[in-house]
């Protein structure tokens, strides 16, 4: 045992003595230094990037032992919190029993040519240096919305709950500018990490081949610049060690509440305007419109309030307009603001005669007489709000958040809750004011509500067909999560959806209306409350069941 420990200690001591500077000194003393061998550029280039070039990490897989010295060096040099890491080490394995493969992989930010984190940021908290190509995060500009953690396919940006902002690797740009290697490069005892100059066109050409690392996200999304090289050819079955593991994602509860309530409000205003422009529903809409508009407006304001709880620095939320040119989140914020403002004006126009004179005297004649235009504008902005919300997640290119799936779910939520809220408002108003017409309207809305809710539930259940996929794809992982780790939440969602969205409306449709009966009102309100609870569960699954390719993991996880 003592001999074995001595051998290990000798090897470790040799590793520590063979840092790049010492290796250079040793070769210089032996007269084995020449410019042709590139010994001067062992860690970083001697020159800055030229036209069509940028800095990039280069990783020698044959030299990486998975010791995590790079992780520790990065953490210490950048003053990161104990639970924060900008560099990680994963594991790839494969091969056969005769020729097995086990390869450790160190990874950090890839300083992509087309960084998704920068493109999606609503406040412009990212910039790509035009000379070096380094993607930097501007901590002072960040509001902690965490959208970049969703848009980056490599899970690079890390949210720091203590600071309320996101932070990431900047390739130790201050050290590079002074001719010093980044912390991870200097910390590696085997010289597995270095900084190299890469040609932008070569990176784009490599991205077309869709080959980066086994199991990793496609390089075609952002064109990562990190170069992994090895003298060994990776076997065809090489996969990350955690390839078959599935784990629930974060629930993002403030976003769940915000999305569901804004879609409820949008759906309610759309149904309201459809009724206002149909002969059979115009009178009923006029009778209950003011009450329904207040309900939808209140929920819209509540949605805005809930969204601020998702921000790490909510006091700086006003910056969210900066990224309007390229960020769907900025566009959503602008459109939601316009939607709530239009809803407020529309509600004021409906309640004009009931408001104190101090308010009504400031209402313009156009506002009083053009309620129809204002109502249509509010409904149109509601639809646009749902579109912008959907595009936030579609643009991340996650299969579970595909354009078809996200659009159907978001508009389905708006339709289900919009119909349920109008039906409940009609039943409540009809009961309070003894209006048979409003009760009839509530009954008429019950059947389309049941049909749409049933179709939406069937579409959501279709993900379980992927359980039979032979390949462990993203949608199969999502189906496995919903079937196993998130089973209780999934069962609750479908139970609430079936009872509140299908059975209660069908009973409502078959109910014999009586003005003095509370049963009809209870059914209508139950349909709304249970459907709302079901949609909140569905939106929680939307976040938690999302699974996407990621960089290799498995070491210390």
pLDDT at 356: 47
Q: For position 516, what pLDDT does the model report?
A: 59
pLDDT at residue 236 is higher than 90: no
Q: Which fold has domain 253-544?
A: Formate dehydrogenase/DMSO reductase fold (1.20.1630)
DSSP helix/strand/coil, 114: coil
Q: Contact 355/348 with Cβ under 8 angstroms? A: yes
Helix (H) or strand (E) holding 102: strand 100-107
- What's the CA gap between 423 and 528, in Å, rounded? 8
Q: How far is CA 544 from CA 32, 253, 260, 485, 537, in A?
A: 57, 10, 16, 10, 10
Give the DSSP H/E element, type plus range, for residue 406: helix 403-432
CA–CA gap between residue 288 and residue 19 (Å, rounded):
78
Asked if residue 466 has pLDDT above 90, the reply is yes
**pLDDT 10s digits, 359-401:** 445 555 544 447 778 889 999 999 999 999 999 999 999 999 9
- pLDDT of the residue at 520: 87
d(CA 191, CA 383): 55
User: In 67-218, where does DSSP find H-type helix?
Assistant: 69-78, 116-120, 148-151, 173-177, 183-187, 200-208
Q: pLDDT exceeding 90 applies to what percent of the chain?
A: 59
Terminal Cα distance for the chain, rounded = 30
C-alpha distances out from residue 214 to 100, 103, 152, 550, Å: 15, 11, 18, 10
Per-residue pLDDT reduced to its tens digit, 398-423: 999 999 999 999 999 999 999 999 99
In a 10 Å sphere around its CB, with 0-12 CB exposed, 13-18 middle and 19+ buried, how is residue 528 labelled? buried
**Three-class DSSP labels, 282-297:** HHHHHHHHHHHHHHHH
Scan for tokens 């029993």, then name that residue: 97
Full DSSP string of 159-181: EETTTTEEE---TTHHHHHTT--
Q: What is the CATH number that goes with domain 26-240?
A: 3.30.70.20
Give counts: helices (H), strands (E), the chain: 20, 10
Residue 5 pLDDT level (bands cut at 50, 70, 90): low
Whether 312 has a pLDDT exceeding 50, the answer reads yes
Rounded to an integer, what distance in angstroms lies between the CA atom of residue 217 and that of residue 211? 9
pLDDT tens for 80-138 read 998 899 999 999 999 888 888 899 999 999 999 999 999 999 999 999 999 999 999 99
| Residue 36 scores a pLDDT above 50 | no
Task: Average the pLDDT over 41-51 and give the result.
Answer: 85
Are 451 and 463 in contact by the 8 Å Cβ rule? The answer is no
Q: What tokens were used for 346? A: 């529309």
Q: What is the token pair recorded at 463? A: 């993900």
**Which is higher by pLDDT, 167 or 30?**
167
The mean pLDDT of the chain is 87
| Closest listed residue to residue 105, CA positions, set 234, 204, 17, 15 | 234
Rounded mean pLDDT, 343-358: 67
Residues listed for the chain: 557
- pLDDT for residue 355: 47
What ranges do the domains of the chain cover?
A: 26-240, 253-544
Whole-structure pTM value? 0.87
Tokens linked to 99: 């020729």
């Amino acid at each position: 045992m003592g001999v074995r420990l001595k051998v290990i200690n000798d090897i470790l001591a040799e590793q520590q003595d063979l840092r790049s500077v010492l290796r250079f000194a040793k070769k210089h003393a032996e007269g084995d230094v020449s410019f042709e061998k590139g010994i001067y550029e062992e860690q970083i280039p001697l020159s800055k990037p030229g036209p069509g070039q940028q800095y990039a990490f280069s990783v020698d897989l044959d030299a990486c032992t998975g010791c995590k010295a790079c992780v520790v060096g990065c953490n210490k040099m950048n003053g990161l919190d104990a639970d924060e890491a900008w560099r990680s080490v994963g594991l790839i394995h494969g091969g056969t029993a005769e020729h097995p493969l086990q390869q450790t992989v160190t990874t950090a930010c890839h300083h992509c040519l087309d960084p998704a984190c920068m493109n999606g940021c609503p406040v412009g908290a990212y910039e790509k240096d035009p000379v070096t190509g380094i993607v930097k995060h501007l901590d002072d500009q960040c509001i902690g919305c965490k959208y970049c953690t969703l848009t980056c396919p490599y899970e690079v940006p890390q949210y720091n709950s203590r600071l309320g902002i996101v932070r990431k690797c900047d390739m130790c740009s201050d050290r590079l500018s002074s001719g010093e290697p980044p912390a991870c490069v200097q910390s590696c005892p085997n010289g597995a990490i270095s900084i190299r100059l890469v040609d932008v066109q070569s990176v784009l050409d490599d991205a077309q081949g869709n080959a980066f690392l086994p199991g990793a996200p496609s390089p075609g999304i952002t064109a990562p610049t990190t170069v992994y090289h090895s003298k060994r050819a990776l076997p065809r079955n090489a996969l990350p060690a955690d390839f078959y593991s599935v784990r629930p994602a974060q629930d993002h509860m403030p976003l769940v509440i915000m999305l569901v309530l804004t879609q409820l409000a949008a759906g309610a205003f759309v149904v309201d305007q459809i009724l206002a422009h149909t002969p059979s529903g115009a009178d009923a809409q006029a009778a209950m419109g003011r009450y329904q508009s207040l309900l939808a407006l209140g929920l819209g304001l509540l949605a805005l309030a809930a969204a601020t709880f998702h921000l790490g620095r909510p006091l700086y939320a006003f910056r969210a307009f900066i990224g309007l040119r390229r960020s769907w989140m900025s566009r959503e914020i602008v459109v939601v603001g316009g939607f709530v403002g239009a809803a407020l004006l529309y509600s004021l126009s409906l309640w004009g005669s009931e408001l104190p004179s101090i308010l009504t005297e400031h209402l313009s004649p156009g506002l009083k007489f053009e309620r129809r235009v204002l109502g249509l504008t509010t409904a149109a902005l509601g639809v646009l709000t749902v579109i912008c919300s959907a595009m936030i997640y579609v643009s991340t290119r996650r299969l579970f958040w595909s354009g078809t799936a996200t659009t159907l779910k978001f508009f389905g939520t708006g339709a289900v809750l919009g119909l349920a809220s109008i039906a409940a408002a009609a039943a409540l108003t009809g009961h309070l004011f003894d209006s048979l017409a409003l009760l009839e309207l509530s009954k008429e809305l019950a059947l389309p509500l049941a049909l749409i809710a049933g179709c939406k539930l069937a579409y959501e259940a279709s993900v379980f067909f992927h359980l039979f996929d032979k390949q462990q794809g993203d949608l199969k992982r999502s189906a496995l999560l919903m079937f196993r780790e998130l089973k209780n939440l999934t069962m609750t969602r479908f139970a609430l959806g079936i009872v509140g969205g299908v059975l209660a409306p069908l009973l409502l449709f078959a109910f014999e209306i009586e003005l003095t009966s509370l049963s009809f009102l209870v059914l209508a309100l139950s349909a709304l409350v249970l459907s709302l609870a079901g949609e909140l569960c569905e939106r929680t699954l939307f976040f938690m069941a999302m699974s996407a390719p990621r960089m290799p993991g498995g070491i210390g996880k």
